[in-house]
Amino acid sequence: MNNNMKVIIDFVVFSILYKVFFFNRWRTKGKAKLVVNTLMYIYISLVLYVTLMPIVISLPFIFNHPYVSMNMIPFDDYFSGRGDAVRQIILNVIMMLPFGFLLPLVKKQNLLSCLFWTFLFSLAIELTQPMINGFRAADITDLITNTIGGLLGYLLYLVFKPLINKIMPT
Using CA atoms, how far apart are residues 143 and 7, in angstroms rounded to an integer? 24
Residue 159 has pLDDT above 70, yes or no: yes
Task: Identify the pLDDT of residue 62.
Answer: 85
51-60, 63-72, 119-128: which range is least confident on average? 63-72
CB 126 within 8 A of CB 143: yes
pLDDT digit string, tens, across residues 63-116: 888 888 889 999 999 999 988 999 999 999 999 999 999 999 999 999 999 999
Of residues 114 and 133, the one with the higher pLDDT is 114
| Predicted TM-score of the model (pTM) | 0.94
Annotated domain spans of the chain: 3-167
Burial class (CB in 10 A: 0-12, 13-18, 19+), 1: exposed
Neighbours of 11 (CB within 10 A): 16
Residue 170 has pLDDT above 70, yes or no: no
